[in-house]
Amino acid sequence: MSVFVPIPLGQRIPASIHAVSCSLPTMRAVRGYEEKTPEITRQLTSGYPRFVVHPFVQQLAQHLVEKHGLQGHKLWLTPSARMAQELAAHLGAVHVIPFATPSAGSGSADGLHGVAHPEVPELAARAKTFLQNVGGFLSSRAAEDELVARGLLPAVQPETVFAGDAAREVKRHLRPAFPGVNEDDLLLANGGINAVYAGFRAAAELQASRGRTIWVQLGWLYLDTIQILKKFTASPEDYVYVRDVFDRAGLERLFAEKGDRIAGILTEVPTNPLIQTPDVPGLAALARRHGALVVLDPSVTSAYNLDLLPHADVVVASLTKYTASEGDLMAGVAVVNPASADAAFLRRRIAAQLEPVYPRDLARLAAQIAETPAVLARIHASVPAVVKFLESHPEVKKVHWALSPPSRAHYLQIARTPGAVGGMISFSLRGPLEKFYDRLRLAKGPSFGMKTTLICPFMYLAHYDLVTTPDGRAELEQSGLDPELLRLCVGTEPVDDIIAVLAEALS
């Protein structure tokens, strides 16, 4: 019997109160989730923590609203006073007052930090988007601990955690992925996107002091990484999007024209969701020749699999993926290349900018991270077989993975071993997406890099605004993206079962 059984709408994936994914088992559910349809959203028990505010965080915020007389205000809880101040500045606050002013305010009360503003939909949307983009929400475990301390929950959910120095344990397991670094070069953040944000802001600050403000986005990247580049460059003209990661001649022309003003290049290796890998050594050589910095993100296939640090000034990565393979916590890392001429500045400024991992999240990560090599080995053993099945199936139109041409040679030159391909496979169908998706018995929801095989209609979840408009679809097409693209991340279940349920849904 197959290990896969359908997961009802809104149920957590995995079955933990701190799960980072939730089940969206039909395309109707996906659309309802994106359109905030009440009959769908009321069934969601949680969601990806940067998109759906965790129930514990909501409960704690409501408690504080009532305690501090903030009725009529929306309260956003943040992990630090600094993040609260950034959010208040983003919303246009004039005064910083604990949790509230007549327009928007931020500060701390009861040892917590946050921003309150009047219940105005436009303000709430702006606040939520900002916190999503930069990784600024309070951790679900931090909220859980506060609720227990205040007598609003009986106890924390039992779970296995590391009993010793969790930060040291995590860094001990990360160091082999970044040869030559010491503990000070490994800067742990509360999520991968916060590591991206901190790494980018530090590099941008340094380069702006040198008169360099242009940042190059190479390839189509993850939604929030794109937003960071767009929002935090000095002007719209300082954000340059190079669509084709393989267009070396185009990059050469760009640097020849604007090289003295280019601050740096930020890209994912490989990119999400097309899983494309540029010529990383060539890219780094070009950037260094012109005084530009390089920020690389290997989250799609895992920093364990790729030797990127020699080619980057900063490597940023999500530890939610693969290292937290149970799928029940958020964490990230920014790693400074100690050989970079700017290492001291970058290390100092990234450490000041990022949001540290909440201690209990870190203890939970430390309890899982030792499994990472074994988890990756099982995933790597399965991925080629799944790719072979999909590529040979008449209903599958296109398949993308780490070793697809023309990425193969570029990927292999930075891969630690030829089989270190990560778990992600993207593909599109010849027939209707909805029929296949609704029939499929795999777990369906956001995130990737779990022991659990997970699939989602990625463009619908990440770029619903583009998928649902003619102009948006044209924009996706220009970047080589099929709006109906499915993103599959292979887990540790038996590969024959994975292939069997894919075959069943494709039949």
Beta strand 293-297 with 314-318: parallel, antiparallel or unpaired?
parallel
Amino acid at 56: F
CA quadruple 291, 297, 302, 303: dihedral positive or negative? Answer: positive
Q: What is d(CA 296, CA 62) in angstroms, rounded to the nearest whole number? A: 39
**HSE-CB of 393 using CA atoms within 13 angstroms:** 24
Per-residue model confidence as pLDDT tens digits over 372-398: 999 999 999 999 999 999 999 999 999
Per-residue model confidence as pLDDT tens digits over 251-260: 999 999 999 9
pLDDT at 107: 56
Q: What is d(CA 425, CA 402) in angstroms, rounded to the nearest whole number? A: 8
3-state secondary structure 165-208: CHHHHHHHHHHHHCCCCCHHHEEEECCHHHHHHHHHHHHHHHHH
Residue 102 banded pLDDT, cuts 50, 70, 90: very low
Q: What is d(CA 188, CA 357) in angstroms, rounded to the nearest whole number? A: 6
Q: What is d(CA 470, CA 292) in angstroms, rounded to the nearest whole number? A: 36
**Do residues 464 and 51 make contact, with C-beta atoms less than 8 angstroms apart?**
no
Residue 99 banded pLDDT, cuts 50, 70, 90: low
What number of helices (H) and strands (E) belong to the chain?
A: 20, 17
**Do residues 123 and 74 make contact, with C-beta atoms less than 8 angstroms apart?**
yes
> Residue 485 carries which DSSP code?
-
CA quadruple 423, 428, 434, 436: dihedral positive or negative? Answer: negative
Question: Is residue 98 pLDDT above 50, yes or no?
Answer: no
pLDDT more than 90, % of the chain: 87
* Mean pLDDT over each residue of the chain, to the nearest integer: 94
pLDDT at 103: 39
- Give the chain's domains with CATH numbers: 55-136 (no CATH), 166-369 (3.40.640.10), 371-506 (3.90.1150.10)
Residue 118 banded pLDDT, cuts 50, 70, 90: confident
Q: Which three-class secondary structure state does DSSP give residue 350?
A: helix
Q: Which of 299, 232, 302, 237 is nearest to 267 (CA)?
A: 299
CA 26 to chain centroid, in Å, comes to: 23
